[in-house]
Every structure is written in structure tokens, then in C-alpha cells.
Structure 1
Amino acid sequence: MSECNHNCDGCTASCDKNKSLLAKAPKDSSIKKIIGVVSGKGGVGKSMVTSLLATELAKEGYKVGILDSDITGPSIPKAFGVTEQIHGTEDTMYPSESSLGIKVMSINLILQDPSTPVLWRGPVIGGAIKQFYSDTCWGDLDYLFVDMPPGTGDVALTVFQSIPVDGVIIVSTPQDLVKMIVGKAVNMCNQMNIKIVGLVENMSYMECPCCKEKVYPFGDSKLEEVAFHYDILPLQALPINPNYAKLVDDGKIESIDTSFIKDTAEAVKKFGKIELNRNIVK
């Protein structure tokens, strides 16, 4: 048998470069598109954007799931008011479901006490995320959103190498450092050959409750400027709304009128090219 020449031409089956790092496909599941939601740093509302997108698409009748891969800072179950612990067999886990039927898999649905810190090193966290994907019976999903860990480090790399992500949405905020932070996320995706759906600028503005005028507490929006700089699609700028924060704290994110994020949802649908013949949830 020929030896590997490091171009992977004529490699034997034992060649390391010929081994796939992808986790095994979930059993008894059909997932049409997997969309990662990423940020170059923490604190930009990545989980909020994930939850709002999942809610909007579920209201439109799509079958949606969320894999909460932010192992050390999981927040998805709290936002949806999901408290039922994961159950399953020796080799299969079954996700919990929100009131709209969104399937959720998160470390906080396994821990006896959700406030228990997860003191694991990177490889262990990466292994857990792979299991959350491959050992979960997701059933039939149109979209599985992966709420990525913040940053571009070891765990994010593991997710991209082990889960067949079709595309990502990058979430930013309008501060001055945003161009550099977005650049890290863009370059990570480019190096991993993962398509970018577009850029969402979160916490972009506030709307005056009296006159409805937009106020920009962090300065003017940089959405168009940054998206143009990195040649990616500017999806939309999202508002700061204290009422939304309160509903998330109460586990009632699905009661938010998510029509304000419809432009981003439309971009996801266009990217996924998934036809829908189900009823819209009123």
C-alpha cells in the first residue's frame, strides 16, 4: 500500500488526513440545514439572536431545534422557560421542547442544579458538544440552530470540525472594536470553508416610547460599513428593548412579537431554500 504524500493523493485508509472529524449523524433524525450563530466575543446577545430566530421560524411553521453549545454559559433553556431534564436510553438522548415545539438540547437540562459550574477543559467540552449533536434524536427538523460558544478558540473550532454546519450568522454590536472582532469570526469561517449567511448588529438602537425616534447609545450603526469591509451581507440592526429582556428572564421569549427580526429570518430561509407547506402559528 502506498504511503501518504501529504497531498492526500493515493492516501491509504490509515492516513490521518483522510479521516473525517465529523461526528456521526444523529440517529433517526433528518436535519435539512444547520445554522451556527457566532460572535467574535461574548456579551453581544448571540443567544438572544439565536432564540429570536428560532421563535420566528417556528411561528411560521418550520420545525426548529437549538443545540446550546455554549457549555460554560448556557442560556437557551432559561429564555424558553424549559426546565424538563433530558431523558433517553443508554445511547440516545431526547431533547426537551418549548411551548412552540422548538427542540432544545443544553447542558443545563442535564445538570441537577443549573447553577452548577461546568469546570471542564476544552477537549471535554468539545466531546460533550459532539455527543449533544450525534447522540440526540432530533427527529425531522427544517433548521437546527447551533448557539456557538463566544470567541474563536478551541471549542468553536471543535464545533465547526465535528458538526456539518451549512452556514453561520455573525452577531456584533456597534462599538468601535467591532470591525476587528467581526474580522476574527469572518476569518475563522473562511479558514474552515463555512459559508456566512450575513451580519446582524445587535443592541444597535433604542426607540423612544413617546415619539418613536431612534436613539443610538453606542454611536451610529456600523452594520453597513463592517459588512462592506468584509464583503458579507448586512442582515439587519436590532434594537435594545428592556421589555424583551424581562420576557427572556421570565422564560417567555416565545411571547415576543418577533416580526422585527423577519429580515434575518428571510435570509436564513433563502439560504436554506426549504419549502414550507405548514400552517403559520398566530
Structure 2
Amino acid sequence: MLSNLFSKNKAAKHELEAEIQQKINHFLDAYRSATFPLGFLNVCESLSMAMIKKDLVIEALLPFPCDGELNDIAEQLTELVQLPVYFEVNYQVQPVRQHAIKGIKNIIAVSSGKGGVGKSTTAVNLAYGLIAEGCSVGILDADIYGPSIPTMLGLKGEKPTSSDGKLITPLEADGLCAMSIGFLVDDANATVWRGPMASRAFSQLLNETDWPELDYLIVDMPPGTGDIQLTLAQQVPVAGALVITTPQDIALVDAVKGMAMFEQVKLPVLGIIENMSYHQCDNCGHHSHLFGEGGGERIANSAKTQLLGQLPLDIRIREDADNGSCLINENSTGELAQLYRKIARNVAAQLYYQLDMRSPTTPSIVES
């Protein structure tokens, strides 16, 4: 009698687990977002589920980092199946372009057609956003004439070392590996360098730094579209580029020039990030579009690229940059931190969808 009861309970448990797994599979198959426009299961390279005590643990292998969105998905699944659901994920980021720089999988250039649009601030917060999403990241300050990364990382005055007398050991700030000409020479000296001299210095910084194993290296490019920018774009094995702009018409014109420059050197533009899109009133929450509205979306549509995100004009962003702190680390659950993390996910996803051979959007060769 007890044996029959045990068998029935065991069978009922298996039936319940199968029903839960079916619900989850159906949800994940139908799930769509900016990060997963073709569905979650379409990019998931492996998936398994297991009941561990009273929790359902989903193990997955994904091609780009997206911790923040997986947390949201887990919350929705927890509500759906009325059980605590957790993800245990391995990210298998692969290089989309072959190069000889040891330790670095993918190089992403962050550029702007003009100065003053928040390029360097966006580059730093994007780097920290990618770290928060689950991958290893470095940043290289290619803005030879005005290196601001040391200040933004709280490393101003710090000097890198070398363990072998050949390669420079990069500095580190809250998990972000960094190298800048500002660590090696005074700002005033760098600003008077001529183009070839600046290009040579940057090439040395890139190739003679002892980079650790990095999924992404963010390169903060000098503003503008002149010879130095063209030279750097051609010298560096960049996987893809981001263009930072504001909604202001004059900034948009320069952003279009920046995209044209990358097209000239056959460098894919992953998308546009619109900075200073609006100012949110502290009292009532109203959005004021001080520099215009919808400009980033218009030029993204015109260039057939992606608008990866819109960032507000917020004093906290400026204060953190000046103080050498990062808002993503200072307030990881805050609205601004979540905006940067979402943009970071979009960047990583677009690099995969546009350029990774594993992507479901990659055309397959069919023999006739």
C-alpha cells in the first residue's frame, strides 16, 4: 500500500515538473525584447532546467551578456509558475573580427562628430554597464588631445607599472581595466602633439599594454572626423562603432559625418546613443526636451542603424564623472544605472546580431 502511494506521488511530481517546464519553454519561445528581437530560445545555445530543493534553476549558455534582463525574465517566470526561478548563465562571447591583440575578443569604438556631447562619460558608463551585465571589460582612452578617462575613473595622477619592462600593466578601477595617455604624460603636453605623433602614441598604448582576458575593449575616440580619427579607425581592429550625439540639429549633422567616416573605412556602426535627450523635473517628473526631440531616432532610421538608447541631462551624471565615481556602482538599482545597463545590453546584442557568425541573422550558404 505504501509502495503504491509512493509511486503515485513520484509520478505526480514528475508530471508537475514537466508541466512547469512546458510553461517556461512556451514563455521563453514567445519572449521578445530589444535584446532578444528574435526570441530568447533563438540565441540560447543550450538550456536545461532542474528543481533544486524548492527552486527552479535554469542553466543557459548565451552569446552576449544580459544579466539585468535575465533578472526581469526570472521574476516573470516566478510569477508564472509560482515557484522561485533563477538563472545560472555562462556567457560565451566570441571575437567577430580576427586580430593579433592578445587577450581582447572585441574592440568597440565610441565616437562623436563633435565635442561636448558626453562621449567619454557615456563610454565609461557603458563599460561599467557591460561589467554589471556579466562580462570582462577594459577601456582605452584614445582621446590623445584631451584624455579625461583618468579623472572619470578616479585615477588622476596614478602611474602604470610594468612587470617585464616591455608591456605596460593597465590600471584598474572597480573592476574596469584602463589605459590612457593621461597616465603617462601631463595633459598639457599631450594637447600639442601633431597627428602622426598622436597616432603612434595611441598604437603603442593599444599594442604594448598587457591586457587581461577581456570580452570587450571600449575605445574612447577623439571627437571629430579628421585625419586622426580616420587613422585610428584604420589602425585599430575595431569590431564595431557607436556614435554619440545629442538631439540638437548641429550635433546631428556632425553625427551623420561620423557615420559617413566609418562607412568610408568599412567599419560597421552598431548604432546611435542619444545623450541629453531630455531633462526630468525633480519635482513633477516632467520631461523637457531642451535640445530638441527625436533627432537620434531620425538619423538612425535614415542610416538604417539602431537607436540603442536615450540618456537624460542629469546633474548626477556630471557629478559622478567629475568625482571619479560611477553611478552604476554607486546606485546599481537606480533609474540612471538601469538605463546605462540596458544600453550596454543593446550594444552587446547588436554586435552579436550584426556581426557574429553564430547569429540567426547570419545568411547561411546553401549548396545548389
* TM-score, structure 1 as length reference: 0.83
2:179 matched residue in structure 1: 105
User: Does the Cα contact within 8 Å between 2:144 and 2:222 map onto a contact in 1?
Assistant: yes
Output one character per residue of 1:36-71: Cα deviation in whole Å (capped at 9) or x when no partner: 001111111110110111011112231100010001
Equivalent residue runs for 1:83-98 within 5 Å: 83=156, 84-88=158-162, 89-98=164-173
Following TM superposition, by how much is the alpha carbon of 1:78 offset from its aligned partner in structure 2, in angstroms?
A: 0.8
Give the SS at the match of 1:171.
Answer: strand
Range that drifts further, 36-45 or 211-220: 211-220
Amino acid at match of 1:25: A
1:12 matched residue in structure 2: none
1:43 matched residue in structure 2: 116
| Distance in 2 of aligned mates of 1:271 and 1:240 | 25
Identity %: 38
Following TM superposition, by how much is the alpha carbon of 1:235 offset from its aligned partner in structure 2, in angstroms?
A: 1.3
Following TM superposition, by how much is the alpha carbon of 1:31 offset from its aligned partner in structure 2, in angstroms?
A: 1.0
Q: Does 1:130 align with 2:206?
A: no
Output one character per residue of 1:58-112: Cα deviation in whole Å (capped at 9) or x when no partner: 122311000100011111111111242111243211110002x11111011112x
Output one character per residue of 1:219-246: Cα deviation in whole Å (capped at 9) or x when no partner: 2231211111222111111101112211
Give the SS at the match of 1:136.
Answer: coil
Amino acid at match of 1:104: A
Which structure's relative contact order is higher, taking Cα pairs within 8 Å and 6+ residues apart? 1
Amino acid at match of 1:240: L
Equivalent in 167, 171, 175 of residue 244 of structure 2: 171
Amino acid at match of 2:229: A
Question: Over alpha carbons, which structure has the higher Rg?
Answer: 2
Q: Does 1:223 align with 2:296?
A: yes
More helix by share: 2
1:179–1:242: structure 2 CA closer, same or farther, 3 Å change rule? closer
Output one character per residue of 1:197-220: Cα deviation in whole Å (capped at 9) or x when no partner: 101111111111111111111122
1:52 matched residue in structure 2: 125
Equivalent in 153, 160, 176 of residue 233 of structure 2: 160
| Distance in 1 of aligned mates of 2:144 and 2:198 | 7
2:105 matched residue in structure 1: 32
* TM-score, structure 2 as length reference: 0.64
| Distance in 1 of aligned mates of 2:345 and 2:106 | 14
2:348 matched residue in structure 1: 269
CA RMSD of aligned residues (A): 1.7
1:19 matched residue in structure 2: none
Structure 2 regions of 5+ residues with no counterpart? 1-98, 357-368
Give the SS at the match of 1:127.
Answer: helix
Equivalent residue runs for 1:207-222 within 5 Å: 207-222=280-295
Structure 1 regions of 5+ residues with no counterpart? 1-23, 275-282
